[in-house]
Amino acid sequence: MAPAVTATFIGEDEKAQVRAVLFGHLAGVVLAPTVKALWDRRVFDLFGSAGEWVDFDRIAQETRANRGYLRVALRLLASCGWLKQQVESGRAPRYALTAEGTVAVSTAPLLYGEALSFVAKAVFLEDFLFGGSDRPVLPSLQELVRRSRERWGLQPDADPVVSQVRNQIREHLDGMLIGPAMVALARAEILTQLEQRSVDINDIAANRASLTCILDLLVTQGWIARDKSSVSLTACGRYAAQVATSYGVTVSYLPLFDNVSTLLFGNSRIPRMDESGVELLVNRGMNVWGSGGAHRTYFKKVDEIIVEIFNRSLHLQPRGICDMGCGDGSFLEHLYATVKNKTERGKVLDKHPLIIIGADFNKVARRVTKQTLRRAGIPIYHVIPGDINRPAQLASDLEELNLDVHDLLHVRSFLDHNRPYIPPANYTAGTRTGKSTGAFAHLGEEISCDELEENLTRHLRRWAPYVGRFGLLVLELHTLPPEVTAANLSKTPAVAYDGTHGFSDQYLVELTVFLDGVKEAGLKADPRFQSKFPPSELATVSINFFTTAGDPFDAGL
């Protein structure tokens, strides 16, 4: 018997509700292990009743924490509304529990401990679902799905604050299971099958018992309808399936969060790569998959810039496009297709070919990029080593290929915040006034916001001489002030972004701080092509076209 027919389409309000749940799930992936690590180290014992301030230095000293990652952890709790923080120039911050935080620390840590027992297995959930045996994962998965079905024992309360926090915690706990599950189903294209029709469980090539558990979990969430062995997506489930890649980046950091206690209170310099260059704290393949799905949202705005540039007179166009941090090459493939199919240059590529350059620090990424560009039939391309901190080296390497770095349009997607940290030489702490609310660390060492902003400005200034002629197209990720995030938890994934990036030595600053650094570095953003997502104070993604010229489209005159 086929399952009952469910509605196919949902309205914007229902989509917003699905996104709110998704953001809660993502927050859980970073918060649950962080809060449990703080609890185990008795950090919360240092806090009195709600509103009593505790100095950061005291917390760091008494718990012997690595200061940089401790700042990241405490800022996360401020962003989820459980701590308030007081940051004054020239002194260490102070923190106090909010009313919500008082409820949370009395309820959450032990429950988080239940779900965290699954993290080491969740890292390999795809293997257990679709590999030889699911016996190592099945007992704990079955028990946790049962706990989810019972709402983790968290019932509504007459006190609205208690009820609100319990709902938060329950979403976090569900996220520890549903996040890896959605990624596994999406990457195996099972969600794609379910988007098209109802499917018999017996027709899915997977380990039956674990798959049944996962589907039961999504039934509890309201995203799957099940009738005996036949399953289908509900209307909300269909939308969740469409945005399932949004889970990918956060879930790819599960290996990191399996080690977050060590990062916070142990050896913060644990290896990030094995001897063969494979990353140990992030599943890079999953990360690229998740990023690729999310990036498609921004391609429409990027295409507007590309079309404008490559519709100009030929002598005012770049010879090619260079992507620093090319990843798997998919962005370059898309840009080439846009030029070929949507611009005047595309009509004369036989006479005026477009040279494609992919540069990446990672050897595996370079190999995959070559495969991507070859498969796309791009006639002229080069894939070379690249370091975002060394634009002069890029210029030299291009010269060996008889290419001038100034003759290219330069592009980057979500890379500037992931630059290897270089302490600014001859910089005196406090020389500038830091504006960011971010928490920054390098191998556990704390980086002050003023030093980080000096580093950012110098980084951009190094690039200015090389991108001035045809410009620099940048997609970038940003943080939000904790109080803004805490007031909008159902509308932003900022908690998850801050957790994954803060503990992995990446440097998210607010959009305004980023643009101030751009201006100080001598670059100018073209207002015609500025976009931010969402288009409000909650913007965590920006697209900008930078140039050193007064008018970017006067280039070459």
The pLDDT value given to residue 557: 40
Instruction: Note every long-range contact of 286-290, with CB atoms under 8 Å and residues 24 or more positions apart, other chains counting.
Output: 286/183, 286/187, 286/248, 286/251, 286/252, 287/248, 287/249, 287/252, 287/253, 288/327, 288/328, 289/187, 289/245, 289/248, 290/183, 290/245, 290/246, 290/247, 290/248, 290/249, 290/250, 290/251, 290/252
Q: Are strands 83-86 and 381-385 parallel, antiparallel or unpaired?
A: unpaired
CA distance 66 to 488: 29
**Helical H runs in 296-415?**
299-309, 330-342, 363-375, 391-400
The pLDDT value given to residue 345: 98
The CA angle 190-191-193, to the nearest 5 degrees, is: 65
Kindly report the number of other CB atoms within 10 A of residue 139's CB atom.
9
Phi and psi at 226, nearest 5°, equal -130, 135
Q: Are 277 and 499 in contact (CB under 8 A)?
A: no
Nearest alpha-carbon partner for 358 in 340, 344, 378, 338: 378
The pLDDT value given to residue 555: 46
Partner residues linked to 531 by β-bridges: 543
Kindly report the number of other CB atoms within 10 A of residue 403's CB atom.
18
The pLDDT value given to residue 549: 55
Phi and psi at 199, nearest 5°, equal -130, 140
CA distance 531 to 536: 10
CA distance 308 to 132: 52
Which residue shows structure tokens 């060492």? 445
The pLDDT value given to residue 2: 38
Low-confidence residues in the chain, pLDDT < 50: 1-6, 552, 555-557
On the CB side of 153, how many CA atoms lie within 13 Å of its CA? 7
The pLDDT value given to residue 550: 53
Q: Are 339 and 310 in contact (CB under 8 A)?
A: yes
- Phi/psi-derived region of residue 437, left when phi > 0, alpha when psi is between -120 and 50, beta in every other case: alpha
Nearest alpha-carbon partner for 554 in 475, 471, 466: 471
Sketch out the chain's domains with CATH numbers.
Answer: 12-28+108-255 (no CATH), 293-554 (3.40.50.150)
**Rounded-to-5 percentages of helix, strand, coil across the chain:** 55, 10, 35
The pLDDT value given to residue 393: 97
End-to-end distance of the chain based on CA atoms, in angstroms?
Answer: 70
pLDDT of 234-277, one tens digit each? 999 999 999 999 999 999 999 999 999 999 999 999 999 888 87
For the chain, how many helices (H) and strands (E)?
23, 16
**Helical H runs in 468-525?**
482-486, 494-502, 511-520
Helix (H) or strand (E) holding 225, with range, is strand 224-227
Q: Residue 162: CB partners within 8 Å, gap ≥ 6? A: 103
Q: Residue 214: CB partners within 8 Å, gap ≥ 6? A: 129, 141, 145, 181, 184, 185
Instruction: Tokens for 346, please give them.
Output: 């595309």
Instruction: Tokens for 521, please give them.
Output: 């570095």
Amino acid at 11: G
CA distance 159 to 67: 36
CA 204, chain centre distance (Å): 30
The pLDDT value given to residue 9: 76
Q: Are 176 and 116 in contact (CB under 8 A)?
A: yes
Q: Classify residue 158 by its DSSP letter.
A: S
Q: Are 116 and 33 in contact (CB under 8 A)?
A: yes
The pLDDT value given to residue 328: 87
Q: Classify residue 420 by its DSSP letter.
A: P
Length of the chain: 557
Kindly report the number of other CB atoms within 10 A of residue 160's CB atom.
9
This prediction has a pTM of 0.93
The pLDDT value given to residue 556: 43
The pLDDT value given to residue 4: 40
